[in-house]
Each structure stands twice: as C-alpha cells, then as structure tokens.
Amino acid sequence: NLSDKLDRAFKVLKGQGTITEINVAETMKEIRKALLDADVNYKTAKAFTDDVRQKAIGQNVLTAISPGQLLTKVMNDELTELMGGTTSEISFSGNPTIILIAGLNGAGKTTFTGKLANYLKTQKNKKPLLVADDIYRPAAIEQLQVLGKQIDVPVYADPESKDPIAIALAGIALAKQNGNNVVIIDTAGRLSVDEAMMREIEQVKGAVKPHEILFVVDSMTGQDAVNTAKVFNDRLDFTGVVLTKLDGDTRGGAALSIKSVVNKPIKFIGTGEKMEALDVFHPDRMASRILGMGDVVSLVERAQQQFDEKEAAELQKKIRKNKFDFNDFYSQIQQIKKMGNMKDLMGMIPGVGKMMKDVEVDDNAFKAIEAIIQSMTPFEKENPDGINQSRRNRIAKGSGTNLAEVNRLIKQFEDMRKVMKQMSNPAAMANMMRRMP
C-alpha cells in the first residue's frame, strides 16, 4: 500500500530540522518504490523523485511543520502539476457536440456513456442522445438502452445494421432533428488492441468528426492501462482520458503515468457502478489520494449534492448546541443510504480508505442500528443522556438485539456527538488541523 510506504518513508525524516541530501535520499528511494508499486511507470517515478528532491533540499523547515509535512506539500504540488494542474471539462464546441467513446472491452465505456449523459443532463442542462455503436455484441445495445431508460435519455440503435459509420451518422441526424445538443457514441472494444477495431474507430472518427474523443480505461489494469492509452492516442489522438473503477483499491498511479505518457488531460473518474458514481477529475485531489490523504473534498461535494442545505444548517445549529439526538442520527443514516454505495463513500475518508480493502460494508450495516433507534421512545430519542439501564434492557428486547449492542451504540453516539461538537467550532477545528501529522 502506497500510503503505508510513504508513512514509513517519512519516518526517516522525522525529527530532523532541515531537509538535507542525506535524509532525503533514503526517503526518495522509498517513495520511488512506492510509486512503482502503485503502477506509476519507472521513467515518471524517477523524474518525479528527482524533481521533488531538488525542490526539497535546502528548504528550511519551519518550526511549525515537520520535514515530512514539508515534503508532503512539495510532493502534493508536484503530483498535481504532473497530472495537469487544473480540471479540464468537456468543451461544447458544436451543435450537437459529438463525443466519441473509445477503449477496450470491459473498460467501462457503456457505463461511462450513461454516466456522462446523466451528468450532462442533470449538472450541465444538456439534452444528450446516446448512440449504440457496438455492433458485435447484441447485449451491448440492450445494455445501453437499459441505462438510457434509467436516466431518461434517448438511445439510438439499429440492431439490423452492421455498419457502425452509418449508425453513428443516423444517430447524429436524429439528434439534430430532435434538438439534442450532445451526441455520445458508445463504440465496440476488443479484449486487446487489434487492427480491425482501430481501423473501425478511426473510420467512425473520420465520418462523424467528433469534438471530443474520450479514451476510457480501467484503472485497475495498471501498467497495461498506460500501454493501451499510448496505442489509442497514436491512432486516434484523443482529447481526454476517463479512468474507471477508481473505487475499491485505488490505483491512482495509473492517472499519473497516463498523463505523463500521452500528455492528454484526464477528464473524469468512475467510482462505482451506479449512474451517479462519476466525478470530474481534480488533479490536486488525486494527488492527495495518491499520497493517501483521502479525497475529502469529493466526498463533501457529493454529500452536499444530496443533503438539503436548510436541513444541514439546522443540523449545524443543533450540533453546536449539543442537541443532536437519535432522531437526527436516524435521518442521517437515511441520507447516507440515499447517497449510494457506502463503500464508495467511506473509501474517501482519510485513513478509512486503507481499511476498506479488508472490510465488506454494505447498507445492511445499518440494520441493527436502525432497529435499536426504532425501539426507542420519543423521549429516549430526544434525550440520549436519559437512557438508563432499564430502558436499555427494554430497547435491546424490543429491537431483537442485545444489551451489549445497545450499550455500544449509545456509547458510539455519545463519542460521535463530542467529535461533532468539536468540529463545529472553527477554532477547535483549526487546532486539530495543526496537530495533524
């Protein structure tokens, strides 16, 4: 695990006043190893560590931060820069804007086609139309139609046709006729790069003249992802990269290598199978993620999309007054469940990402908690402090759990309340941040 290794590497630096040639050499060796393990290719890793070393050496470590912190900062900036610095979104240059999706089988093209349409429709106010241009697998057409129905976006398909160019052109014509201002063309892939597929997609490109060609790649395939990206870019000169399957075991390294090998912006990342599991790629957040800091900003953003702002403000007030009760807790759980896959979300919390590999979390995790809260009387829900022993016994019986589970939940709730109270106080929060490693 990259962040474990980095933790170890930084230990070498702990307690030293300045970053010197000697203490940085050992650390850089560790970091280079860690980057290679995270699928960053050798040339990139070497260039990166050389660069960081140069920038770090001679920097005076302020008393407030440790050399490890300083180095993390230097590395974070450097990684961010390497991955493109800033976000790069779809450019809407035509009417309709035509987006061609390319990549190997199983990379996540069809899923991404649906996600992108959903994103453009709900976040960018666009009227997309999808074209099913994978003619080799009958199931592929149906898969796209199912997604289209789910997100309420029209899909053009012609199951009789064996001509991907004709299908794509007909789809675009239909879009013009119906006033769809974005056309996303889902294409066929192969198990590995082959000449026939490359020629076909080149021809589709020549015919439809796309404004964007997005190369979709499975981030779990590591170094292969980089090689595939290179081949596709040489043939198609694509305009952007989509990294899928960045949920679960984060192979952030692929992002770094691909960017440095093909020099095209990464535009989106896929973080799950659901239609909502799509994020705009933020180089700085990915840098933090590679460094093991967790993608807190994305988490917060996604949470904000789902939480009603007014409700959140009320909650803040309650937390500050220490009035957060089991009713609020219960509705929070419902909110969290609405936000989708628990594992996706929890993986983004710093320190939790590491643990998630070994733990299976599913929405059932809340079953017992919900049962316990439901067995409380209104008084108990509003007065967590007033739940005495006999009440606990009754709750345990009523909820079909046991006393230990009830005790644990109440204890956890109280602990959580303390932390929440602290976090709602800006001064305390700043203090906590300063003490972070």
Q: Would you list the DSSP string of 51-95?
A: HHHHHHTTPBPPTTS-HHHHHHHHHHHHHHHHTTSS-------SS
The binder of ligand GDP chosen from 12, 35, 75, 107 (CB under 6 A): 107
- β pairing state of 240-244 and 212-218: parallel
**C-alpha pair distances (Å), 201 with each of 45, 144, 196, 208, 261:** 33, 18, 9, 10, 22
Position 270 contacts ligand GDP (CB under 6 A): yes
The answer on whether 254 is annotated among ligand-binding residues is no
Separation CA 381–CA 434 (nearest Å): 35
Under rule CB under 6 A, residue 205 binds ligand GDP = no
Instruction: Return residues touching Mg ion (CB under 5 A).
Output: 109-110, 140
Tokens of 333: 């759980």
Decide which of ligand GDP, Mg ion, none touches 107; Cβ closer than 5 to 8 Å per partner kind: ligand GDP
CB 115, CB 270: distance < 8 Å: yes
Report the site for ligand GDP in 170-189 (rule: CB under 6 A): 189
Nearer to ligand GDP among residue 51 and residue 273 (C-beta): 273
Cβ-based nearer residue to ligand GDP, 212 or 325:
212
CB nearer Mg ion, residue 49 or residue 110: 110
Rounded least distance, CB 415 to ligand GDP, Å: 32
Cβ proximity to ligand GDP, 154 vs 270, nearer residue: 270
Q: How far is the CB of 107 from ligand GDP (least distance, A)?
A: 4
State both tokens at 258.
Answer: 């691909």
Distance (Å, rounded) from C-alpha 309 to C-alpha 327?
18
Least distance (Å) between residue 225 CB and Mg ion: 17
Q: For ligand GDP, which is the closer residue by CB, 218 or 328?
A: 218
Compute the distance between CA of residue 198 and CA of residue 230 in angstroms, rounded to an integer.
13
244 binds ligand GDP (CB under 6 A): yes
Q: What angle do CA 4, 431, 6 make, to 5 degrees?
A: 10
Least distance to ligand GDP, CB of residue 53, Å: 35
Interface segment toward ligand GDP; rule CB under 6 A; list 50-58, 107-115, 325-333, 362-370: 107-115
DSSP string, 327-380: HHHHHHHHHHHHT--HHHHHTTSTTHHHHHTT----GGGGHHHHHHHHTS-HHH
CB-nearer residue toward Mg ion: 15 or 138: 138
Partner in contact with 77, chosen from Mg ion, ligand GDP, none, beta carbon below 5 to 8 Å by kind: none
Collect all residues with Cβ–Cβ distance below 8 Å to 62 and sequence separation of at least 6.
70
Q: Is 49 annotated as a binding residue?
A: no
Binding site for ligand GDP (CB under 6 A): 103, 105-111, 189, 244-245, 247, 270-273, 277
Question: Which residues contribute to the annotated binding site for GTP?
Answer: 103-110, 186-190, 244-247
Question: Which residues contribute to the annotated binding site?
Answer: 103-110, 186-190, 244-247
